[in-house]
Amino acid sequence: MSSEQQGNVSGLQVYRAIAAVTSKLTKAGIGKDRQNTQQGYSFRGIDDVYNALAPLLAAEQLCILPRVKSREVIERQTQRGGTLFYVSVDVDFHFVSAVDGSQHVVSMPGEAMDSGDKATNKAMSAAYKYACLQTFCIPTEGDNDADATTHTDVTPTAKPVKKQATVQAPPKGEPVVGASEVDSINALAAAAGVPVEKIAAKYGVKTVQEIPLSKTAEIVDRLQKLALKEAA
């Protein structure tokens, strides 16, 4: 093999490594073996992702190196009068082959809430988890993902949501919101004084976790406007 051919093959090592990890995870996947203690739904934890990936990444000499591009912190109040920290991060994950140094960057947001000093850690974990799930196309169990705990902000006087003439349930098989979207909707709904049950009902589902992913931008935009009016 010529040196030019060797260089061409070497330049593909990061993608070869990603493909190899994906292949090894195809059959096993990572199931939702943990339970949310507040709302009772299943989810896969960051430790499950670490445990499944660590030996595979080592075997394929693939490194995942994070770089936080931005971080935002908002303080909120809980129903019991405590402080709740809402953190959102924007992270670049550099998938680097230790064989030749070739790399591919995956950008992923992460959001989390915590009453102590763990909100940033949780947001970073969420970003890492979804970056890996999507990059390696990891097979999962269940319809949507969530964090282990769900925090609730103080809800001002609720404003009625306009009733729709007809409500259509989302088509079967349509992707639903994940953990970060659920947290964003919950936080904005609390700030806007809108019960999350009303939001779910508007889209023909029983819980926020069942809302179609395609409706996230529409819901967030509406709630942000309502929250601004509420704060004025």
CATH of residue 107? 3.30.390
50 in a structural domain: yes
pLDDT in tens, 148-202: 545 555 545 444 444 444 445 555 567 887 777 787 788 788 877 888 888 888 8
Alpha helices in 95-215 (DSSP H): 119-135, 179-192, 196-202
- Gap between the Cα atoms of 67 and 94, Å rounded: 8
Mean predicted confidence (pLDDT) in 104-116 = 92
Residues 116 and 30 in one domain: yes
Q: Are 92 and 69 in contact (CB under 8 A)?
A: yes
User: In this model, does residue 222 exceed pLDDT 80?
Assistant: yes
Residues 30 and 120 in one domain: yes
Ranges 77-81, 87-91, 215-219, most confident? 87-91
Q: Determine the straight-line distance between the first and last CA of the chain, rounded to whole angstroms.
A: 70
Higher pLDDT, 215 or 171: 215
Count of domains observed in the chain: 2
Domain holding 128, by residue range, is: 1-143
45, 26, 41: which is closest to 177 by C-alpha?
A: 41
Residues 57 and 115 in one domain: yes
Of 117, 143, 169, the last residue of a domain is 143
Q: Which residues, including other chains, have CB under 8 Å from residue 6's CB and lie 6 or more apart?
A: none
- Three-state DSSP at 114 gives strand
Residues 192 and 82 in one domain: no
